[in-house]
Amino acid sequence: MPSLDQKELEQILEVKINNPDLYLSAFTHRSYLNENRGFHLPHNERLEFLGDAVLELAATEYLYKNYNHPEGELTNFRSALVNYKMLSDIARRLDLEKFLFMSRGEAKDTGRARQVILANCIEAVIGAMYLDSDFNTVRQFIERHILVELPKIIAGEKYVDPKSRLQELVQEKRGITPTYSVVSETGPDHNKIFVVAALVGTVEVGRGSGPSKQEAELAAAENALKNNQF
């Protein structure tokens, strides 16, 4: 039966684990259960749902207390902190990937789909930590490993929404608003990849992909800004 190296995980997370099963569930991807029907714990999607809300609250509280910016900017700061690319990078930095339980097929995929799995996993870990300890413990973890990225995000203006920037430039140059069209969607319902084109009129100016239409639109807008062909 699968198990976690509790001592090593406690050292990485800097928390005391009281209920190891919560964390084991947090590292269990849905695909693992497809190949291991007798596994005694659920996959991590419910913990991810909880952790997402806990992370958003902790980030929102921190931003409110420490940054005297307008609501729109605070929202952009928070979005840049909790998007799947940022969270997957943090999960890799913490070496959480080695604890994942996945199907053999998922284990072979090291691209964007793995980024999403890692981002979901760190949210599930936050959910497990919240249930296993308290909000203050989770907040300290989030401050140590996620909110610490905020100064770099602000200094590099990584919080600027590419769709808003593209719309501003296209309206200024062409007097019209860019639109977005889904080119394709592939993969199972729980792990889809969308490809979206950014259009100025009928002309494609950028293309991007992501695990949701919104993420793909952002990637397409970012690609259009790099191409600068509008």
Residues whose CB falls within 8 Å of the CB of residue 123, separated by 6 or more in sequence, listed in order: 47, 48, 51, 52, 55, 87
The residues that are catalytic are 52, 123
What is the mean predicted confidence (pLDDT) over 156-160? 73
The predicted-structure confidence for 42-97, as pLDDT tens digits, reads as follows 999 999 999 999 999 999 999 999 999 999 889 889 988 998 889 999 999 999 99
User: Whole-number mean pLDDT of the chain?
Assistant: 91
Residue 23 CA, chain-centre distance (Å), reads 19
User: At 156, is the pLDDT very low, low, confident or very high (cuts 50, 70, 90)?
Assistant: confident
The predicted-structure confidence for 3-13, as pLDDT tens digits, reads as follows 789 999 999 99
Q: Is the pLDDT of residue 108 over 90?
A: no
Q: Where are the domains of the chain?
A: 6-155, 162-227
What CA–CA distance (Å, rounded) separates 44 from 81?
Answer: 21
Q: What is the DSSP letter of 140?
A: H
Domain 162-227 listed as CATH 3.40.50.300: no
Considering the domain 6-155, what is its CATH architecture?
Orthogonal Bundle (1.10)
Q: What pLDDT sits at residue 68? A: 93
Across the strands, what pairs with 198? Answer: 180, 206
